[in-house]
Amino acid sequence: MNYRALALDLDGTLTDSNKNLPKENKAAIWNAIDKGCAVILASGRPVLGIAELANELELDKRGGYVLAYNGGNIIDWKTGELMYEKMMPSECIHEICSQAAANDVVALTYTIDEIVTENDTDEYVLKEVKCNNAPLKKVDNLEAFVDYPVSKFLVVGEHKKLLPVQEALLKKHGDVLDAFFSEEYFLEVVPNGVKKSASLESLLEKLGIDRTELIACGDGMNDIPMLEYAGLSVVMENAYPEVKEYADYITLSNDECGVAHAIEKFLL
């Protein structure tokens, strides 16, 4: 098969356990770009958390795409063009914040250059800070602070405490938002219809690439839609067991440069 596009999750896939980009993955991606492959960084991270990696990969010079917020934004990284954007309905913000407080978990969202939350010491908030290598802003009232359009909220905490938050949000606002887990401790709250597969479909249509020509690499539960969508689904050895059920091929772990291994096997 002549694959023409490569969608890469970041955390647990492209980056190692220390959130660094291995040089082997970088070299393999550059070789794929040189062969004419469209490289897409597809992540639940906000744009501010993807930018550094996109620039390290020189997508601003070599060409490539950033799919942020699980697909809420698509950006042509070379031209800076915002190709797609979908925002959270403002009427949902009260319920997100109140359900987080009622269940002893923490809600957060983003500005252009910061992560914003009411709790700047929570261990799961700090995991998100580390993932994105981003500044953290503490506010007294998150609901009151968010008077601007946002693409995603993240509710973080113990899985058992997040489950009733997910249930309540879907029950009250399931017609306009979706709530799903990327990690057991990360509940992603996005506008309805936002998922990696839907935004990939939109992007590939613009690029004139068929889904059968797409390789998707991932490890997390929020990667399942794009793994189902892609012509070839590559799952990391370190992935959740339920994610491995969607694999056409299981590559090496993220700490063993599994992305480079898959690129060499299927693209080079």
Residue ranges with strand state E in the chain: 5-8, 38-42, 65-68, 73-76, 81-85, 106-110, 115-117, 136-138, 153-156, 177-183, 186-191, 214-218, 232-235, 249-250
Structure tokens at 263: 């690129």
- What is residue 4's three-state secondary structure? coil
What beta strand segments (E) does 30-79 contain?
A: 38-42, 65-68, 73-76
Tokens matching residue 11: 């955390």
pTM for this model (two decimals): 0.92
Give the pLDDT score at 56.
98
Query: Distance (Å, rounded) from C-alpha 207 to C-alpha 188?
Result: 28
- Residue 1: pLDDT over 90: no
Could you report the per-residue pLDDT of 41-53, keeping only the tens digit for each?
Answer: 999 999 999 999 9
Domains in the chain, start-ordered, CATH in brackets?
5-86+194-266 (3.40.50.1000), 90-191 (3.30.1240.10)
pLDDT at 107 over 90: yes
Structure tokens at 154: 């993240």
Structure tokens at 233: 């689904």
Helix or strand run (H / E) with residue 129? helix 123-132
Query: pLDDT tier at 54 (50, 70, 90 boundaries)?
Result: very high
Amino acid at 14: L
- If you ran DSSP here, which 8-state letter would residue 22 be given? -
Residue 34's pLDDT band (cuts 50, 70, 90)? very high
Burial class of residue 171 in the structure, from the number of CB atoms within 10 Å of its CB (0-12 exposed, 13-18 middle, 19+ buried): exposed
| Region 158-179 average pLDDT | 97
- What mean pLDDT is predicted for residues 16-45? 97
